[in-house]
Amino acid sequence: MNFFRFSLEILRSAVVDLGRRPISSGLSVVALTVALFVLTVFLILMHGVQDVLTRWSDQAAIEVFLSAPVDDPQVVDLLARLEQEPAVRRVEAISSGQALEEFEHLFPDLGDVESLLGENPFSGSLRIVPAAPDTQEVSRIAKLARGSTVAEAVRYDRQWLSSLARLGRALGWFMLVGAVVLLFASLVTVGSVVRLALDDKREEVELMRLVGAPASFVVGPVLFSGAFLGLLGALLALGLAAAGRHFALDAAEATSLGVLAELILGRGLPAVEQVAIAVVGALAGTLAAGLAAGRAALR
Amino acid sequence: MIVFDRVTKQYRAGEPALRDVSFHIAPGEFVVITGPSGAGKTTLLQLVYRELVPSSGRVVVDGRELAEMSWRQVPALRRRIGIVFQDFRLLPRRTVAENVSFVLRALAWPVSRRRERTRRVLEWVGLAHRAHDWPQSLSGGEQQRVAIARALAAEPRLLLADEPTGNLDPARSLEILGLLREIHSRGTTVVLATHDMTLIESAGVREIHLREGRIEEDRKVA
């Protein structure tokens, strides 16, 4: 039997089967599209949130306010120890004079603060920039600094970042669970459509068996229908997600949310993950069709 | 071509449908399996195309023992067998020509060869002019002729006909019998199961008579 001709017959049979039930086929595509759209949006947001967290983490620093001048041997020792930490990217020593200068530069209207107060109110400090946005490591570094006798106070703005990361993770799980539930529901829908199509052509299937059509000719169109529905759903989901992203970016551009929208949505979904979603769609459709048909097509 | 060697078929409940049945059908023979309803005629045919496997004994078709055949090998066996049923089993949403070519499509014949073969078998059964009609618009006899055309489409070496005249009047029954004899005269082995004894008297063929699952008589009808 010519393989190419045989495959064409399977393809033709699958398309005819789908065409016979346009409404239910359409409904399964919609169900799969919704499920995979949620999954795609989830991935885009996760990538965006991850990028934002990384950027903010890069900008965040641990401030160690010192009870001694920056050239004090204990401070120099602390600085050296911090610089040796792999979790630390760099450490800057800021003297009380530099801190005053910085303040006066930022707030020139306040005039000469030292003369006004009779002394420089700023203490020296160490500004530690972490190597990575790892909240556990940051906490460890802060603890290390706090343990020094010359550290008067340690302040780091990691707690809200940590909360944001937790929120991001929770949101991610919520969307992932939602996408899985929707995907399962859409698999059941695809399975039902395939089962209905099989019931509809029970006589044909019976005849195919009696005339000696190979099992692959009976099962092939069933699996292909499922794969086709799944792939179509995935492509629609990707298209909708891309259109939605562009729309959101355009809409947010003129508002105060523009920068945030660009940060979160600007990168979009990498090509590899888009292909992966298309493959997941096709495989999910095939799996649903295969499970729904089961041995019914072979008996 | 077909060998039944002490074949018994027992369904889950009730009496055996066939008991210790043995016979041999040579290539090119025309054999009529007769007997009242429930005698085991349909079971016997189903064993030949391996819809069923015997509870004991051997069924051999074309040198292959069917019980040893895996389900993957069954399609190859069936491609060599044409089957005609009492209830025609035509697909209502396909035209006469599509019903015939459907078989060839399932066997992936090329389109041009498929068209040619469909035209030829429909001409042969005298229904070429109804090729584009729906099966429902045909008479019972015509529908059965379409079913025979479909069974012959893939050029089988063996034709099994299970009560093909059961739903037809006597005149149409004789017409179908004539067609089956013509098929036989072209070299195809024909096994016809029927309870219509008048059909046999006019046939002049070998008769295997079944009663309660046993062979009561195996004779050549004069």
Contact between residue B172 and residue B140 where contact means Cβ atoms under 8 Å apart: yes
Residue A298 has pLDDT above 60, yes or no: no
DSSP string, A156-222: ETTHHHHHHHHHHHHHHHHHHHHHHHHHHHHHHHHHHHHHHHHHHTHHHHHHHHHTT--HHHHHHHH
How many residues are listed for chain B in this entry?
Answer: 222
Residue A295 has pLDDT above 60, yes or no: no
Query: How high is the pLDDT of residue B84?
Result: 92
Query: How high is the pLDDT of residue A157?
Result: 66
Give per-residue pLDDT as tens, B183-222. Answer: 999 899 999 999 887 777 765 689 999 999 999 999 887 6
A33-42, B65-74, B128-137 — most confident range: B128-137
Query: How high is the pLDDT of residue A297?
Result: 54
CB neighbour class for B129 (10 Å; exposed up to 12, middle 13-18, buried from 19): exposed
Residue B100 has pLDDT above 90, yes or no: yes
Query: How high is the pLDDT of residue A54?
Result: 67
How far apart are alpha carbons A27 and A186 in whole angstroms?
9
Query: How high is the pLDDT of residue B130?
Result: 95
Confidence of residue A195 (pLDDT cuts 50, 70, 90): confident
Residue that has been written with the tokens 């002394």 in this structure = A119
Query: How high is the pLDDT of residue A270?
Result: 87
- Average pLDDT over every residue of B58-68: 92
Cα B108 to chain centroid, rounded: 22
**Chain A stretch 184-213, residues whose beta carbon is closer than 8 A to a beta carbon of chain B:** 203-204, 206-213
Residue from the list A5, A206, A212 with its beta carbon closest to the beta carbon of B76: A212
Taking an 8 Å cut-off on Cβ atoms, the answer to whether B108 and A203 are in contact is no
Cα–Cα separations (whole angstroms), residue B68 to A82, B8, B50, B53, B63: 79, 16, 11, 10, 12
Helix (H) or strand (E) holding A62: strand A62-66
- Average pLDDT over every residue of A4-12: 76
Helix (H) or strand (E) holding A92: strand A88-94
How far apart are alpha carbons B196 and B162 in whole angstroms?
12
- Average pLDDT over every residue of B152-169: 89
Taking an 8 Å cut-off on Cβ atoms, the answer to whether B89 and A203 are in contact is yes
Helix (H) or strand (E) holding A127: strand A125-130
Q: Is B63 on the interface with A (CB under 8 A)?
A: no
Which residue, among A181, A200, A183, has the nearest Cα to A287 in the 3D structure? A183
Residue A19 has pLDDT above 90, yes or no: no
- Could you tell me the end-to-end alpha-carbon distance of chain B, in angstroms, rounded to an integer? 23
How far apart are alpha carbons A257 and A50 in whole angstroms?
18
Q: Which of A17, A210, A217, A299 to mutate to test the interface with B (most CBs of B within 10 A)?
A: A210
Q: Is B113 on the interface with A (CB under 8 A)?
A: no
Taking an 8 Å cut-off on Cβ atoms, the answer to whether B75 and A214 are in contact is yes
Within 8 A by CB and 6+ apart from A141, the residues are: A62, A82, A85, A87, A88, A128, A130
How far apart are alpha carbons A60 and A161 in whole angstroms?
9
Cα–Cα separations (whole angstroms), residue B105 to A13, A227, B60: 10, 22, 28
Average pLDDT score, chain A: 81
Contact between residue B169 and residue B200 where contact means Cβ atoms under 8 Å apart: no
Residue that has been written with the tokens 């995935």 in this structure = A234
Residue A82 has pLDDT above 80, yes or no: yes
How far apart are alpha carbons A205 and A218 in whole angstroms?
7
Query: How high is the pLDDT of residue B158?
Result: 94
Query: How high is the pLDDT of residue A61?
Result: 79
- Average pLDDT over every residue of B90-104: 89
Average pLDDT score, chain B: 90
Q: Is the ipTM of this complex over 0.90?
A: no
Could you give the domains of chain A? Answer: 3-56+161-298 (no CATH), 61-156 (3.30.70.3040)
Taking an 8 Å cut-off on Cβ atoms, the answer to whether B102 and A204 are in contact is yes
Residue A88 has pLDDT above 80, yes or no: yes
Residue that has been written with the tokens 């590899």 in this structure = A272
| CATH class given for the domain over B2-80+156-220 | alpha beta
Query: How high is the pLDDT of residue A162?
Result: 67
Query: How high is the pLDDT of residue A176?
Result: 77
Which residue, among B149, B138, B151, B35, has the nearest Cα to B92 in the 3D structure? B138
Contact between residue A101 and residue A192 where contact means Cβ atoms under 8 Å apart: no
Least confident of A69-83, A176-190, A217-231, B56-70: A176-190
Contact between residue B17 and residue B43 where contact means Cβ atoms under 8 Å apart: yes
Query: How high is the pLDDT of residue A224?
Result: 86
How far apart are alpha carbons A42 and B65 in whole angstroms?
59
Half-sphere exposure of A110 (CA within 13 A, CB side): 13
Query: How high is the pLDDT of residue B61?
Result: 94
Confidence of residue A161 (pLDDT cuts 50, 70, 90): low
Q: Which of A211, A217, A218, A298 to mutate to test the interface with B (most CBs of B within 10 A)?
A: A211
Give per-residue pLDDT as tens, A89-136. Answer: 889 999 988 888 888 888 877 777 777 778 888 889 998 888 766 677
Least confident of A295-299, B46-50, B217-221: A295-299
Smallest Cα distance from B222 to chain A, Å: 34
Query: How high is the pLDDT of residue B189?
Result: 94
> Which ranges in B14-85 belong to alpha helices (H)?
41-48, 74-78
Give per-residue pLDDT as tens, A200-251. Answer: 777 778 888 888 888 777 788 888 888 888 899 899 999 999 999 999 888 8
Query: How high is the pLDDT of residue A296?
Result: 56
Rounded to two decimals, what is the model's pTM? 0.64
Confidence of residue A36 (pLDDT cuts 50, 70, 90): confident
